[in-house]
Amino acid sequence: MTITKTQEGTKLTVAIEGELNTNTAPELEKEFETCLDGITSLVIDAQNMNYISSAGLRALFGAAEVMQENGDMCVINANDEVKNIFEVTGFVDIIDVK
């Protein structure tokens, strides 16, 4: 998995490439721990994410909890398979998936 962060003022875009799974989710969680201070808009660009597991969902849920207090969060460009996982698990009710 590759994580690319782009910040514009208080908006942070995190692009995830590859699989967000049990092995890679801790890396993303660690990134979120250090980069969300002062962020009011978090965008997860899933264009190149080809899989997300329950561990990956948990990492995104943790970021969503932080952003609920500080601003907003959304997922963009998810492929059909990843969108389906968000829908089946009910994450579309927690995180705005565009």
3, pLDDT greater than 90: yes
pLDDT score at 2: 96
Beta bridge partners of 15: 4, 45
Q: Which CATH architecture has domain 2-97?
A: 2-Layer Sandwich (3.30)
pLDDT score at 39: 97
pLDDT score at 13: 98
Contacts of the segment 64-67: beta carbons below 8 A, 24+ positions apart: 64/94, 64/95, 66/32, 66/36, 67/36, 67/39, 67/42
Q: Per-domain residue ranges for the chain? A: 2-97
**Is residue 16 within 8 Å of residue 48, measured between CB atoms?**
yes
Among the residue ranges 16-20, 59-63, 90-94, the one predicted with the least confidence is 90-94
Q: What is the pLDDT of residues 25-54, one digit of tens each?
A: 999 999 999 999 999 999 999 999 999 999
CA distance 34 to 31: 5
70, pLDDT greater than 90: no
Which percentage of the chain shows pLDDT scores above 90?
96
